[in-house]
Structure 1
Amino acid sequence: MTTKINIDTRLQEAVQSYWDARAKNKEKQVESGRIDAGNRGEVTGGTQMGALEILVADILCEAGLKRLDVRTRTALELPGYFRATKKWDLIVISEGQLVLAMEFKSQAGASIGNNVNNRSEEAVGSAKDIWTAYREGRFGTKAPPPFLGYLFLLEDRDSVKVPVANKEPYFKVDPVFRGEPFTTKKGETGYRGVTYAQRYELLCRRLVLERIYSSACFMLATNSRNTVISQPAEDLTFARFTAALRGHALTFLGSQP
């Protein structure tokens, strides 16, 4: 009899594993005498999201997918349209069909502001690439649409909760990025901008709203020995995300002869 997964416990362990892996990578850099600039030493020694990937794989298998069909370590390349191939973080290939492809992304450290746009462009570009490849029949001319998942983990620190002003030399930004209004010394109305955490939340929500990804999850977590996980958006929680994963897995299984 299969033991039912305790999602809350496993999620806590998986996120803690992320921080532990980053710390170990940095320790290896120090021991070898080769220390990367900034916090790069924490991320250059291997995957940190492995425990989260395994958790999602277990959830998919609990829903009925075959363990051998769920890939998280090797053979993760899928054909693209604008590039030959793209390596995803987790894919499911079953009965010759692409069932699911997923990205696990994170951002930590003091240089978060330098990477927000890069992460946004990367997320949209990867999805556009695979959807166009799907349209062109790269996954079979009769293949049903795959499930595209996007999970983002952001370090919970003070700098991600401070409003960031927008530069608008020519045109005004989308109102959702303007934040709270305030009155300038000249009596004019200005806007403080939204925080980096809010920007990432908006990214995840709009990826789903525009049907670029099938579902997305956004979490914050403190970098500590007993990490504290927060999920500020009800529509982007891990529970809701895994419900969508299970639903797709069951739909696929139900469509098989």
Structure 2
Amino acid sequence: MAIDLVDYERKAREAVQAFWENREAARQKQIESGKADQGERASVTSGKNMDGFIALILDIIHANGLTHADIHQKRAVLTLPGFFRPTKLWDLLVIHKGELIAAIELKSQVGPSFGNNFNNRTEEAIGTAHDLWTAYREGAFGKQPRPFVGWLMLVEDAPESRSPVKYNSPHFPVFKEFKSVSYLQRYDLLCQKLTQEQLYTSASLIASPRSAAAGGNFCSLSSMTSLKTFVASLAGHIAGESARLE
């Protein structure tokens, strides 16, 4: 069964470029209004920064057979039932013939506060997945095959995210893979472990500098967490579900 990756590299560069352009546009708008938020928050309040990646995901879905699926992007229809809480709001849901085909989270982090944000993102990602799969086990979505559950993270590629990070663990040693690594490497390890532990079907890390506003350049830190691995996994899942349901 052939899968279509819809020229994802070009579209990903466009998405990255749009990410940085939208952040700057939001910051300028806040400044011009005289109500600028403090720090980096001024460039994230528009809520449109990851739209380019949503467009790429939509192209993957349509190109691999689910042309008539219900793809939900508006906040009012993005909730799924949870097990530990009543509902969880996702960034993108794909539903076809009453079955949950895919649930995807798209996140980003720009400096300088990499430390606190990394911990928050980690706890959120783990909790979200554990909640969904427990709800799935308990029949929240009916009797259906496992959906694709994806986590896509864009992190600013900067000296602060590339530098080794100190840690404090006075009672027990940390796992050796976490020693003398940067925040980008921590995110890469997080994505690897999220996939290895089957919390997510695929988890991807995209590293991109602010200068990518001019050309959309980005990179991956490992094959396992690359954008290509993510889109190939999603495309294969969509193609398989299309063959099963159409």
Q: TM-score, normalised by structure 2?
A: 0.93
Residue 218 of structure 2 corresponds to residue 248 of structure 1: no
**CA offsets 1:11-56 (integer angstroms, 9 cap, x no match):** 1000111111111111111111111111111111223101111111
- Equivalent residue for 1:182? none
Select 2:79's aligned residue among 77, 80, 92: 77
- Equivalent residue for 1:181? none
Select 1:195's aligned residue among 144, 163, 182: 182
Q: Distance in 1 between matches of 2:154 and 2:164?
A: 19
C-alpha change, 1:32 and 1:68, in structure 2 (3 Å) is farther
Q: Distance in 2 between matches of 1:67 and 1:125?
A: 31
| Percentage identity across paired residues of the two chains | 42
Which is worse superposed, 48-57 or 221-230? 221-230
Gaps of 5+ in 1: 179-192
Partner SS state of residue 39, structure 2: coil
Gaps of 5+ in 2: none
How far is 1:73 from its partner? 3.0
The answer to whether the 8 A contact 2:154-2:206 is kept is yes
Q: Distance in 2 between matches of 1:16 and 1:152?
A: 15
How far is 1:91 from its partner? 0.9
- For the pair shown, the structure with the greater C-alpha radius of gyration is 1
- Equivalent residue for 1:52? 53
C-alpha change, 1:162 and 1:174, in structure 2 (3 Å) is same
**For 1:30-109, what aligned pairs fall within 5 Å after superposition?**
30-66=31-67, 68-74=69-75, 75-109=77-111
- Equivalent residue for 1:184? none
Q: Distance in 1 between matches of 2:79 and 2:69?
A: 16
Select 2:127's aligned residue among 119, 125, 128: 125
- Equivalent residue for 1:183? none
How far is 1:68 from its partner? 4.8
Residue 117 of structure 2 corresponds to residue 115 of structure 1: yes
Q: Distance in 2 between matches of 1:23 and 1:223?
A: 10
Residue 209 of structure 2 corresponds to residue 222 of structure 1: yes
Which 4+ residue blocks in structure 1 deviate beyond 4 angstroms? none
How far is 1:67 from its partner? 5.0
Partner SS state of residue 203, structure 2: strand
Partner SS state of residue 12, structure 1: helix
Partner SS state of residue 106, structure 1: strand
Q: Distance in 1 between matches of 2:30 and 2:135?
A: 39
- Equivalent residue for 1:233? 222
How far is 1:216 from its partner? 1.4
Q: Aligned-pair RMSD on alpha carbons? A: 1.5
The answer to whether the 8 A contact 1:79-1:138 is kept is yes
Partner SS state of residue 113, structure 1: helix
Partner SS state of residue 234, structure 1: coil
The answer to whether the 8 A contact 1:54-1:72 is kept is no
- Equivalent residue for 1:158? 159
- Equivalent residue for 1:209? 196
Could you say which structure has the greater relative contact order, defined with CA pairs below 8 angstroms and 6 or more residues apart? Answer: 2
**For 1:162-201, what aligned pairs fall within 5 Å after superposition?**
162-178=163-179, 193-201=180-188
Q: Distance in 1 between matches of 2:221 and 2:33?
A: 39
Q: Distance in 1 between matches of 2:28 and 2:18?
A: 15
How far is 1:124 from its partner? 0.4
Q: Distance in 2 between matches of 1:86 and 1:66?
A: 26
Name the amino acid aligned to 1:55.
L
C-alpha change, 1:102 and 1:4, in structure 2 (3 Å) is closer
